[in-house]
């Protein structure tokens, strides 16, 4: 399987994603934001970080960068796109995903382990996944997902909510919501479910010496689904 | 403007120093030249009060590749890998503008590390604030933490460990010490020594603005009521640009274009250009019209003294300008050829076709003043006599609650959860452990690091305190299973012109030196911050020690959390029961006098090395060093982290039980051992003549002392974790 990770100026999880993708069997290429063509890929990843310093609004400048049109074309033709953290923010800025990511409710950067409950596993990302609740890691200042009532309704009606923040046993409650996201939303899909944006970082949880191993569960399942 | 003594004094120079400048030049300097002298001769850049004493430090060792004197120190960790590291203070700016002060402190130290060709792999910090009751403390803490996070998180370097201390002596002078570790191939280290004549001098990074002018001079002065007016001297950080600069510099370093490179830190273009030329025994000529400026009509004086961040000065090989420029264009950074190296041995500056400065470089570097300031020795304070009456009315439950939720002991999770500590995917011991540990990417090796200070001990007796901090750093590394290699020191002190403060400095250094020699734990880099004084009140002497150690195989890493119930808990090292200067004495008995705990370097080394043997033979399940709050607090932390309890066996010692549990005697550890392994562990301890006490055993949840349940671990965890969140909410 071929994957590509886009590097924007200020991306800082690009290497981590590269390491994770390769560990689970992807042939990964790094793509510079100023390129206009994507290599042949089965998966495009927009990694975490602070693209362009996130100085205007998180992800907004990256959402206008040269490579993005190719990413949009790739996504519109059904290609698989994954945006993690800043990547999720960029996807909302391009309009490929609905809603916005606001500053965390406690107005502080949060770096810690959290749990997410997978809400829809009828898609390439999560089908056949062996665990319904994953322990992943978040590290962000703007992860507080928000959208209008109409958008929320359509997300729910089309089953586009990918995952909710929850307790270790899968209960979705206010206490397990780390950043104030509406309805505890941790990640969403587009209508066709070929684009996934989520705040948690699976690439930081890929061996027993790190904060956990549920990232491995995510990647192993993903590559299995793509084969 | 005509320069005279009054203007020189306004620049922070002393009248006799100004006279020396005139004598050296055989003329009156112009304003730009005076600015350059004041920047190079201030305490921050010239180390004029400390140089004499710093020379004494133990800086040599088998694994030392580069000691003090470069941008950072370098140690060998085998297989051509080397670790570049340094700690630096950003105290004065952080008090005036906590967010930017702390942020640019982190940015500055990272630049020092990647200037040498190393990719930063970990950040640490040691921060000291005033009393928790003081009205400024909360906002300063919030601002500093946000600043450290804002910079490090954006760059994408994990913040893996730190230290936070509250004490009223920092009410008017907080301390922000930032440390960075970087990884480099030992054959590809870059230095700041220029070589060769007519080599192009290149300016890269951000544009120069008016921020931070005279920042280094501010850092060399004491504070008064008008401190708010100094805000414009605080630099503004731009971590995004630094991230680009980091990537661009490392890209340029992959070939052989660079002769010398130096970041523009304190005193900006002035000190970077002079340092490179001085080390190479060369002259340097700069055309200031070529310097990329952010603001209009900047004068030579302003350009030379600006401390705008995220800038580097490079001496390049001839003919490499175009290929180098391409890299900086790719990263959208300024790149300008602003001058060349010369054989004049002078710094010569041109602006609008006129020569605006011409100073022999040796006057600025070698001829800078050096003082042997008078200092006063501190006597060892008398021991406080405690009797059983002091302890009679105490109840364990009350004492535990008070101690574990004490600001200097409680969990700092509120702080480190705001730092990205997992980016780069190699953090295998996150903050909250004895030391942070990151893997050396793609290898079996891992690097451990911690920062420590013990201002109360240093205040009570600087010599003992100085020794103690080094030992504490050593112990923290041992506790995660790492072999300690070297240290960096950040020496935060009051006014060196006062003999008490100068005495504290001299004796702390002597203490650091003695321990560093004995433990073969050399100092490879560091920084001095004097004048931490407001309105005549200085801080407690606070040498901060950053230690670095190596795990040859990260599988041998060990953590402090109790692993399961029914295991034995051992206290390693002798408990004498000295509680003078302990948190217990201060918080519970309200006794602040007395000497710090004694340091026995033989025991320190022997105990540490024996612990490492036990760890490497995989006989310990968890290890934690005993520090503030003594055995009791150390054991409770192990309970909290592992979500287990502990049953202490009935106490049979000769000293009072409170003295036993809360004394801060040095060189001690607590380890958890499987019952089946006790014999093996005992035999190693006995063979090495290491004293140990069998303390008790781990339980499911209950913390039992004298056969009585005190608390469950959940309750103690609540006290431990809750205090700082409550304070900050």
- Which pLDDT tens digit goes with each residue over B584-609? 999 999 999 999 999 999 999 999 99
Residue B380 has pLDDT above 60, yes or no: yes
Percent of chain B with pLDDT over 70: 97
CA torsion through residues A146, A147, A153, A156, sign: negative
Residue B216 has pLDDT above 60, yes or no: no
Q: What is the distance between the alpha carbons of residues A126 and A142, in angstroms, rounded to a whole number? A: 25
Residue B204: φ, ψ to 5°: -135, 160
Is residue B148 within 8 Å of B142, Cβ to Cβ? Answer: no
Task: Write the pLDDT tens digit of every residue in B332-352.
Answer: 999 999 999 999 999 999 999
Provide the whole-model pTM.
0.94
Selected residue of B420, B431, B555, B725 to mutate for chain A interface (largest A Cβ count, 10 A): B420
Given the residues A13, A85, A147, A166, the one annotated as active site: A85
pLDDT, average across residues B189-206: 93
CA distances to A29, A75, B50, B68, B468 from B507, rounded to whole Å, are 56, 67, 12, 20, 12
pLDDT, average across residues B661-683: 97
Of B154-168, B257-271, B510-524, the range with the lowest mean pLDDT is B257-271
CA distances to B406, B599, B704 from B633, rounded to whole Å, are 11, 20, 14
Confidence of residue B240 (pLDDT cuts 50, 70, 90): very high
Task: Say whether residue A33 is in contact with chain B using an 8 A CB cutoff.
Answer: no
* Selection from B281, B709, B252, B625 nearest residue B434 by Cα: B625
Taking chain A (227 residues) in consecutive chunks of 10 residues, what is each chunk's mean pLDDT?
A: 96 96 96 92 96 90 92 95 97 95 95 96 93 96 96 95 96 96 97 96 95 94 93
Q: What integer pLDDT is reported at residue B390 of this predicted model?
A: 87
Q: What integer pLDDT is reported at residue B104 of this predicted model?
A: 92
Q: What is the distance between the alpha carbons of residues B569 and B169, in angstroms, rounded to a whole number? A: 37
Task: Write the pLDDT tens digit of every residue in B119-159.
Answer: 999 999 999 999 999 999 999 999 999 999 999 999 999 99
Q: What integer pLDDT is reported at residue A6 of this predicted model?
A: 96
Q: What is the distance between the alpha carbons of residues A136 and A218, in angstroms, rounded to a whole number? A: 10
Sequential DSSP letters for B78-122: STTEEEEEEEEE-HHHHHHSHHHHHHHHHHHHHHHHHTTTPEEEE
Residue B218 has pLDDT above 60, yes or no: no
- CA angle at B592 for the pair B588 and B594, rounded to the nearest 5°: 120
- CA angle at B274 for the pair B269 and B275, rounded to the nearest 5°: 105
Confidence of residue B384 (pLDDT cuts 50, 70, 90): very high
Q: What integer pLDDT is reported at residue B229 of this predicted model?
A: 61
- Please name the member of B243, B423, B554 whose beta carbon is closest to the beta carbon of A10: B243
Confidence of residue B45 (pLDDT cuts 50, 70, 90): confident
Q: Is A137 marked active-site?
A: no
Q: What integer pLDDT is reported at residue B220 of this predicted model?
A: 59
Inspect the interface and report whether the beta carbons of A12 and B155 lie closer than 8 Å. Answer: yes
Q: What integer pLDDT is reported at residue B233 of this predicted model?
A: 65
Angle between helices B137-155 and B239-253 (to 10 degrees): 40
B217 SS3 class:
helix
Inspect the interface and report whether the beta carbons of A111 and B243 lie closer than 8 Å. Answer: no
The percent of chain B in helix, strand and coil, each rounded to the nearest 5, is 40, 25, 40
Domains delineated in chain A: 2-226 (3.40.50.880)
- Please name the member of A54, A109, A211 whose beta carbon is closest to the beta carbon of B422: A211
Task: Enter the DSSP assignment of A51.
Answer: G
Q: What integer pLDDT is reported at residue B226 of this predicted model?
A: 62
* Selection from B162, B170, B131, B160 nearest residue B407 by Cα: B131
Task: Enter the DSSP assignment of B382.
Answer: P
Q: What integer pLDDT is reported at residue B709 of this predicted model?
A: 84
Neighbouring CB atoms inside 10 A of A137's CB total 23
Task: Write the pLDDT tens digit of every residue in B448-468.
Answer: 999 999 999 999 999 999 999
Q: Is B90 marked active-site?
A: yes
Q: What is the distance between the alpha carbons of residues B522 and B517, in angstroms, rounded to a whole number? A: 7
How big is chain A by its Cα radius of gyration, in Å? 16
Inspect the interface and report whether the beta carbons of B423 and A210 lie closer than 8 Å. Answer: no
- CA angle at B387 for the pair B384 and B390, rounded to the nearest 5°: 95
pLDDT, average across residues B474-480: 97
* Selection from B317, B316, B336, B312 nearest residue B112 by Cα: B312
- Please name the member of B155, B420, B424 whose beta carbon is closest to the beta carbon of A111: B420
Is residue A34 within 8 Å of A11, Cβ to Cβ? Answer: no
Task: Say whether residue B156 is in contact with chain A using an 8 A CB cutoff.
Answer: yes
Q: What integer pLDDT is reported at residue B669 of this predicted model?
A: 98
Task: Write the pLDDT tens digit of every residue in B83-101.
Answer: 999 999 999 989 999 999 9
Confidence of residue B653 (pLDDT cuts 50, 70, 90): confident
Confidence of residue B2 (pLDDT cuts 50, 70, 90): confident
How close B314 gets to chain A, by Cα (Å)?
A: 22
Residue B614 has pLDDT above 80, yes or no: yes
B486 SS3 class:
strand
Q: What integer pLDDT is reported at residue B217 of this predicted model?
A: 60
Task: Say whether residue A16 is in contact with chain B using an 8 A CB cutoff.
Answer: yes
Selected residue of B156, B244, B447 to mutate for chain A interface (largest A Cβ count, 10 A): B156
What integer best gives the mean pLDDT of chain B?
93
Task: Say whether residue B554 is in contact with chain A using an 8 A CB cutoff.
Answer: yes
Residue B221 has pLDDT above 80, yes or no: no
Q: Which value does ipTM take for this structure?
A: 0.95
Residue B255 has pLDDT above 90, yes or no: no
Task: Say whether residue B729 is in contact with chain A using an 8 A CB cutoff.
Answer: no
Inspect the interface and report whether the beta carbons of A16 and B419 lie closer than 8 Å. Answer: no
Task: Say whether residue B239 is in contact with chain A using an 8 A CB cutoff.
Answer: yes
How close A12 gets to chain B, by Cα (Å)?
A: 5
Helix ranges (H only) for B221-297 are 239-253, 268-279
Task: Say whether residue B286 is in contact with chain A using an 8 A CB cutoff.
Answer: no
Selected residue of B159, B205, B240 to mutate for chain A interface (largest A Cβ count, 10 A): B240
Task: Enter the DSSP assignment of B426.
Answer: -
Neighbouring CB atoms inside 10 A of A22's CB total 12
Given the residues B11, B53, B90, B624, the one annotated as active site: B90
Q: What integer pLDDT is reported at residue B222 of this predicted model?
A: 64
């Amino acid at each position: 399987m071929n994957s590509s990770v886009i590097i924007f100026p200020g991306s800082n999880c690009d290497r981590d994603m590269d390491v994770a993708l390769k560990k689970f069997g992807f042939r990964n290429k790094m793509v510079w934001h100023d390129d206009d063509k994507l290599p042949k890929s089965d998966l495009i990843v927009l990694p975490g970080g602070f693209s362009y310093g996130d100085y205007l609004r998180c992800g907004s400048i990256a959402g206008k960068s040269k490579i993005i049109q190719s990413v949009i074309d790739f996504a519109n033709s059904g290609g698989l796109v994954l945006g993690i953290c800043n990547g999720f923010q960029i996807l909302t800025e391009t309009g490929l995903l609905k809603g916005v990511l606001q500053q965390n409710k406690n107005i502080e950067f949060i770096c810690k382990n959290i749990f997410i409950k997978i809400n829809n596993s009828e898609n390439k990302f999560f089908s056949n996944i062996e665990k319904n609740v994953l322990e992943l890691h978040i590290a962000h200042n703007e992860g507080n997902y928000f959208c209008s009532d109409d958008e929320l309704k359509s997300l729910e009606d089309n089953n586009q909510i990918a995952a909710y923040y929850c307790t270790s046993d899968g209960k979705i409650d206010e206490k397990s919501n780390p950043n104030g996201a509406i309805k505890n939303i941790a990640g969403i899909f587009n209508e066709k479910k070929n684009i996934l944006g989520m705040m948690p970082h699976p690439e930081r949880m890929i061996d027993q010496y790190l904060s956990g191993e549920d990232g491995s569960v995510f990647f192993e399942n993903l590559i299995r689904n793509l084969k | 403007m005509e320069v005279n003594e009054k203007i020189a004094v306004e620049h922070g120079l002393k009248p006799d120093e100004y006279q020396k400048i005139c004598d050296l030049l055989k003329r009156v300097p112009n304003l730009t030249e005076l600015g350059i002298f004041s920047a190079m001769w201030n305490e921050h850049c010239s180390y004029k009060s400390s140089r004499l004493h710093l020379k004494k430090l133990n800086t040599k060792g088998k694994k030392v590749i580069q000691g003090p004197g470069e941008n950072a120190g370098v140690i060998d960790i085998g297989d051509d890998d080397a670790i570049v590291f340094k700690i630096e203070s950003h105290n004065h700016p952080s008090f005036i503008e906590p967010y930017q002060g702390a942020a640019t402190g982190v940015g500055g130290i990272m630049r020092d590390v990647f200037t040498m060709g190393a990719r930063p792999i970990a950040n640490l910090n040691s921060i000291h604030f005033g009393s928790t009751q003081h009205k400024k403390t909360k906002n300063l803490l919030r601002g500093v933490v946000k600043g450290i996070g804002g910079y490090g998180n954006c760059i994408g370097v994990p913040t893996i460990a730190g230290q936070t201390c509250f004490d009223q002596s920092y009410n008017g002078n907080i301390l922000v010490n930032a440390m960075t570790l970087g990884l480099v191939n030992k054959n590809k280290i870059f230095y700041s020594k220029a070589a060769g004549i007519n080599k192009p001098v290149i300016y890269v990074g951000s544009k120069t603005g008016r921020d931070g002018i005279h920042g280094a001079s501010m850092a060399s002065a004491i504070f008064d009521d008008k401190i708010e007016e100094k805000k414009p001297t605080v630099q503004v950080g731009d971590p995004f640009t630094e991230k680009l600069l980091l990537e661009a510099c490392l890209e340029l370093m992959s070939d052989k274009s660079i002769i010398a490179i130096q970041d523009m830190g304190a005193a900006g273009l002035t000190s970077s250009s002079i340092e490179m030329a001085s080390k190479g025994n060369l002259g340097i000529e700069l055309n200031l019209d070529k310097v990329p400026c952010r603001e209009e009509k900047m004068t030579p004086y302003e350009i030379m003294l600006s401390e705008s961040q995220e800038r580097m000065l490079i001496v390049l090989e001839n003919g490499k300008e175009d290929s180098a420029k391409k890299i900086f264009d790719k990263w959208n950074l300024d790149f300008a050829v602003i001058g060349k190296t010369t054989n004049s041995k002078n710094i010569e500056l041109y602006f609008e076709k006129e020569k605006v400065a011409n100073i022999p470089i040796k006057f600025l570097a070698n001829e800078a003043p050096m003082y042997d300031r008078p200092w006063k020795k501190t006597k060892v304070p008398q021991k406080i006599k405690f009797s059983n009456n002091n302890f009679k009315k105490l109840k364990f439950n009350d004492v535990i609650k008070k101690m574990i939720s004490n600001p200097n002991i409680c969990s700092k999770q509120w702080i480190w959860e705001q730092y990205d500590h997992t980016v780069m995917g190699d953090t295998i011991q996150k903050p909250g452990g004895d030391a942070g540990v990151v893997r050396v990417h793609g290898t079996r090796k891992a690097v451990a690091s911690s920062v420590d200070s013990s201002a109360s001990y240093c205040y009570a007796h600087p010599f003992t305190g100085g020794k103690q901090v080094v030992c504490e750093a050593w112990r923290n590394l041992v506790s995660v299973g790492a072999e300690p290699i070297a240290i960096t020191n950040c020496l935060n002190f009051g006014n060196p012109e006062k003999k008490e403060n100068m005495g504290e400095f001299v004796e702390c250094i002597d203490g650091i030196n003695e321990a560093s020699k004995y433990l073969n734990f050399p100092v490879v880099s560091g920084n001095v911050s004097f004048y931490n004084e407001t309105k005549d009140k200085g801080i407690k002497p606070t040498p901060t020690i950053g230690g670095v150690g190596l795990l040859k195989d990260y599988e041998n890493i060990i953590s402090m959390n109790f692993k399961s119930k029914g295991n034995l808990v051992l206290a390693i090292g002798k408990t004498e029961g000295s509680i003078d200067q302990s948190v217990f004495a201060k918080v519970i008995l309200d006794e602040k006098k007395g000497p710090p705990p004694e340091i026995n370097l033989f025991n320190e080394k022997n105990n540490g090395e024996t612990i490492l043997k036990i760890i490497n033979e995989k006989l310990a399940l968890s290890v934690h060093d005993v520090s503030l709050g003594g055995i009791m607090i150390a054991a409770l932390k192990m309970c909290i982290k592992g979500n287990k309890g502990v049953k202490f066996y009935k106490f049979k010692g000769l000293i009072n039980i409170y003295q036993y549990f809360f004394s801060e005697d040095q060189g001690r550890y607590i380890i958890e051992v499987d019952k089946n392994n006790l014999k093996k562990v005992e035999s190693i301890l006995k063979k090495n003549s290491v004293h140990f006490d069998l303390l008790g055993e781990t339980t499911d949840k209950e913390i039992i002392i004298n056969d009585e349940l005190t608390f469950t671990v959940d309750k103690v965890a609540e006290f431990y974790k809750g205090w700082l969140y409550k304070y900050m909410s």
